[in-house]
Homo-oligomer: A and B are copies of this chain.
Amino acid sequence: MSEKSIVTLDRLEKFCSEVLIKAGLELSDAAILTESLLCAELRGVSSHGVVRLSTYLNRIAAGVMDINSKMTIEKEFPASALLNANNGFGQIAGAKAMDIAVSKAKTSGASVVAVKNSNHFGVAAYFGLRAVRENMVGLVITNSSPAMTPYNTKTPLLGTNPLAIAIPAGEQKPIVLDMSTSVVARGKIRYASLVGEKIPLGWAVDSDGRPTEDAKAALKGSLEPIGGPKGAGLSLCIDLLCGVLTGTALTGEVINVTDTSGPSKTGHLFIAINVASFINPQFFAQNVDKVITHIKSLPSASGGQVYMPGEIEFNLEAKRLKEGIPLANDVLADLGRLAERYEVSKLI
């Protein structure tokens, strides 16, 4: 665990934009990607934040991701579209796709927009929040590289395929559920292995598909899905909708973001539901607020505070907007190397 330094949001934003523009991204696209990376940092999802910048740029350098790609529309109907990211950034494709979904839902009531031939799209909540800003419910799913086994098998084929659901509220913060279909992230097991700790049963199976408490054996095996066959089934369905329905990848074919042997074969699906097409939006907002205040007023089981999905992240965002973003010094060193490569000013 390296020490951390605080960087202001403005400084980090300027840095990311400069690097990305020097790397060849158009101004508006660099702004979207930067916004997504900062969204992750502000919300405390540092695994999907600026630490990914060099990973993404490495993919471009290796020729397995295209910085100059333009997204194209392959099929379009009043409430659906299939977009081709043409192997560009997932964040940029995803933001544009959700915006198209929102625009279609404004006239059609709801819409489903899928993206083929894309890449790692960062934090799923980012796209859901774009829908919420327009007073819509946003649903977001993506396929990802193999990490879990189909139920009752030993072969990791399924990704931890996350899903995000964002629901607008009134005075309260929106509900933003952003979850993988695995019990825990692989990072938690990597940490346990590093510090020599056992992991709880239920987190992972070994390479023979047997539940294990041994973190090293777990890293050679697979993550456990939530609810056994339920989480595995959910992940499979997300895979079929994002990989197969878009014509991007069969289950098991997605390539990890750090593997530069070929295009990542990532696909996403975005659903926008226009609240106003179903109910008076003010009435809806008031009722969501009522549910939130009711739940938050309940006695807690732990004795601590009761939080809604996404609330801890919103609180952290408010704090980091004021106080700046803590970055691990090894991440800062990594960003320093990028500064040299792209000839921009270092962060610190």
Contact = CB atoms under 8 A, between A and B. Distances in A.
Interface of A: 75-82, 104-105, 107-112, 114, 137, 149-155, 157, 165, 167, 175, 177, 179, 183, 202, 205, 208-210, 226-227, 229-231, 233-234, 236-237, 239-241, 244-247, 250-252, 271, 273-275, 277-279, 283-284, 287-288, 290-291, 294-295, 298-302, 304, 306-309
Contacts of A277: 75, 77, 80, 82
Main secondary structure of the interface of A (DSSP, over half): mixed
A152 B287 contact: no
A183 B71 CA distance: 41
A15 to B, nearest CB: 33
Q: Which 8 A-B pairs have the closest CB atoms?
A: A80-B109, A226-B227, A77-B109, A209-B301, A79-B79, A110-B112, A79-B108, A233-B309
User: Most chain-B CB neighbours within 10 Å: which of A112, A179, A240, A275?
Assistant: A112
Given A108-B79, A153-B300, A291 B233 contact: no
A195 to B, nearest CB: 23
B241 A75 contact: no
A175 to B, nearest CB: 7
B251 A150 contact: no
A307 B110 CA distance: 34
Contacts of A301: 149, 152-154, 205, 208-210
B284 A234 contact: no
A283 B154 contact: no
A281 to B, nearest CB: 10
Contacts of A208: 301
B294 A252 contact: yes
A163 to B, nearest CB: 8
Contacts of A111: 79, 109-110
Nearest to A182: B227
A179 B209 contact: no
Contacts of A229: 179, 309
A283 B245 CA distance: 9
A82 B279 CA distance: 8
User: Most chain-B CB neighbours within 10 Å: which of A149, A165, A278?
Assistant: A278
B233 A179 contact: yes
Given A152-B304, A237-B177, A278 B246 contact: yes
A274 B231 CA distance: 24
Contact of A250 (B202, B226, B290): B290
B80 A175 contact: no
A274 B152 contact: no
Nearest to A209: B301
User: Most chain-B CB neighbours within 10 Å: which of A79, A150, A226?
Assistant: A79
Given A152-B307, A175-B240, A250-B291, A109 B299 contact: no
Nearest to A273: B112
Contacts of A150: 295, 298, 306
A138 to B, nearest CB: 11
Contacts of A230: 177, 179, 226
Nearest to A232: B309
